[in-house]
Amino acid sequence: MTKKFGYSILRDESIDFDRNDKRISAYLHAHEPSINLCIGCGSCTATCSTGHFVDFNIRRLHTLIRRGETREIKKEIRKCMFCGKCQLVCPRGVNLRNVILTLNRAIEQLG
């Protein structure tokens, strides 16, 4: 019998930062500069409506953006319900709803 420990091992992954496409990150920083104020406190993630139901972490999404992991960004962004709770609790005033909107626009325009 397999014992369940409540977690699973993540698959191996290597990231070639220099080769990744950072256009989405550049677009976001140009169009919604409040993202620069983020201190990674995690309040947005803790309060996220979607995160209560599915595997979604907006702070992780931010990491993916900085790394230029476009394929993962596209997959994750679809999960957001656009409720705005994350923005209400952000201690740094990051305009998170506009971050999501801007990301969607960037994906549309940059492909």
Q: Number of residues in contact with ligand SF4, rule: CB under 6 A?
A: 25
| 68-79-103 Cα angle (round to 5) | 40
- Whether residue 65 contacts residue 24, with contact meaning beta carbons closer than 8 Å, is answered with yes
The residue range among 7-15, 23-31, 39-47, 66-74 that interacts with ligand SF4, by the rule CB under 6 A, is 39-47
- What mask of x and - would describe binding to ligand SF4 in positions 47 to 86, judged by CB under 6 A? -xxx-------xx--------------------xxxxxxx
Question: Which residue carries 């990231």 as its tokens?
Answer: 15
User: Coil, strand or helix: which one is 7?
Assistant: coil
The residue range among 13-21, 24-32, 40-48, 69-77 that interacts with ligand SF4, by the rule CB under 6 A, is 40-48
